[in-house]
Structure 1
Amino acid sequence: MSKKILLTNDDGVYSAGIRAAYKSVDSLGDVTIAAPAFQQSGVGRSISIFEPLRMNRTKIDGVDAYAIDGTPTDSVILGIFSVMKEKPDLIVSGFNVGENISTDTATTSGTVGAALEGASYGIPAIAVSIQVIEQGLKFDDLRDYEHDFDVGIKVVNRIAKKVLEHGMPDNVDVLNVNLPHDVEEDTEIDITRLARKFYNMEVEERHDPRDRPYYWL
């Protein structure tokens, strides 16, 4: 029986990264795409419990997909329980534009949050992120993000295939895969842990035309 794979992300259903993710797993089984309709970076594992969710069918390069007007976690929940109506064999979240290699980013990442949501149901989950040099790119419209995903596609295909065939490593629920921006086919894969890093947050106060303050984080 063909394996069932749920694909999601936090950069939005139309992002270049999710198209690359699809290419990495489409040969491994039946793929369902359910992802946020819009950019949802930085929302972590947040869930929409105070407003209704809407889901629209769309296409990504001719492939059927579901655009959800909620968070990555919402997308995983609707993908499993409303679209597939069964638990998939694997969840892949990504390719995220921006690495998630430390405690400060991984705990706020919608990409990682979606994978954690899948893991909470006992589903093997892989979060995939690519390093960026210009940090501002993480929050742009990523539909036409220019990046050579070819090597990343091969790496994720290899990892996903092993998980589908052999399951997750012992005592592991989520694989957090981070690809250097200049990754090559012979780049060594290191198994490591999240860096311990603390946010250095700044708050910018501005004023509207009526001189009322508002804030950017």
Structure 2
Amino acid sequence: MKILITNDDGVYSPGILELAEVASEFGDVRIVAPDVEQSSMGHAVTATRPLSYKKTHIGDFDAYRVNGTPADCVSLGSFHWEKVDVVLSGINLGPNLGNSMWHSGTLAGAKQAALLGIKGIAFSTPTQSGEYDFSKMRPYIWKAIDYLISEKGPKLVNVNLPYEPKGIVWTRQSVRQYDGLVKPSEDPMGRKHFWFTVVPLENPEEGTDRYAIRNNLVSMTPLRLDLTDEEQLKKLKGMDLFN
């Protein structure tokens, strides 16, 4: 099995090495990731300048760094390595829950795989202070990969891992509230600038990705590329708008 691994934290992130080490138990691994951090880039692709594809050293793995986005990395990686079976994206250092899926570069790597007809799985975990310790997550990362890369696993999945998992559950995306926040500030010269950040959301709904993480459960959310609101479409098809 050919397993292509990318992320949005950058090719030298500890999360990508952890994911590669676990994934190597399931097949041949190649890392293709951004040369610098590309967090919250969403599904951007680079169309106005050329991209580079340079070999680098990540542990004992065949690895390449790209001066582009996670979606770029998946496209270039699958171009240079034919017949990729699965793309794993992550492990992102920061959760990708609820509405943050819309601008997640980590999830975009998995989505780009799905667009190319390849199974895509994104992995994220909450931020930690100091050096990251994945030891308690590792058995659950292994279990998730083992199931999701099989034929019975969904084609596109968003996985979030708490610090100390107690189990794994299927979840739906929490869309009750958006957590984006614009925070005004100023530089030492008194010039105004703005940070885009997030605020914690309280009381997550049961059965959602946020609820799972709040209760120390690994959240696995099956996704689809089709954004069509089928319910609305059925209603609108009965309306005559153009006569």
Contact 1:44 1:108 (8 Å CA) reproduced: yes
Name the structure 2 match of 1:27: 25
TM-score by structure 2 length? 0.73
The separation in 2 between residues aligned to 1:50 and 1:109, in whole angstroms, is 22
Seq. identity, %: 35
Alignment of 1:155-170 (within 5 A): 155-169=140-154
5+ long unaligned stretches in structure 1: 135-144
- Paired letter, 1:152: M
Contact 1:12 1:37 (8 Å CA) reproduced: yes
> For 1:181, what is the secondary structure of its paired residue?
coil
5+ long unaligned stretches in structure 2: 197-243
- Paired letter, 1:59: H
Is the alpha carbon distance of 1:174 and 1:154 closer, same or farther for their aligned partners in structure 2, counting shifts above 3 Å? same
The separation in 2 between residues aligned to 1:190 and 1:32, in whole angstroms, is 28
The separation in 1 between residues aligned to 2:110 and 2:123, in whole angstroms, is 9
Two-structure CA RMSD over aligned residues (Å): 2.0
Contact 2:30 2:61 (8 Å CA) reproduced: no
Contact 1:24 1:156 (8 Å CA) reproduced: yes
Is the alpha carbon distance of 1:200 and 1:9 closer, same or farther for their aligned partners in structure 2, counting shifts above 3 Å? closer
The separation in 2 between residues aligned to 1:149 and 1:119, in whole angstroms, is 27
Name the structure 2 match of 1:201: 181
For 1:192, which of 144, 167, 171 is the aligned residue? Answer: 171
Alignment of 1:67-82 (within 5 A): 67-81=65-79
Give yes or no for the alignment of 1:179 onto 2:161.
Answer: yes
For 2:97, which of 96, 101, 123 is the aligned residue? Answer: 101
Name the structure 2 match of 1:122: 117
Contact 2:136 2:163 (8 Å CA) reproduced: no
Contact 1:132 1:181 (8 Å CA) reproduced: no
Query: Over residues 104-137 of structure 1, what are the superposed CA-to-partner deviations in whole Å (9 max), with x where a residue is unaligned?
Result: x111110011101101122111100112367xxx
Give yes or no for the alignment of 1:92 onto 2:72.
Answer: no
Structure 1 segments of 4+ aligned residues over 6 angstroms from their partners: none
- More relative contact order in 1 or in 2 (CA 8 Å, sep 6+)? 1
The separation in 1 between residues aligned to 2:108 and 2:72, in whole angstroms, is 10
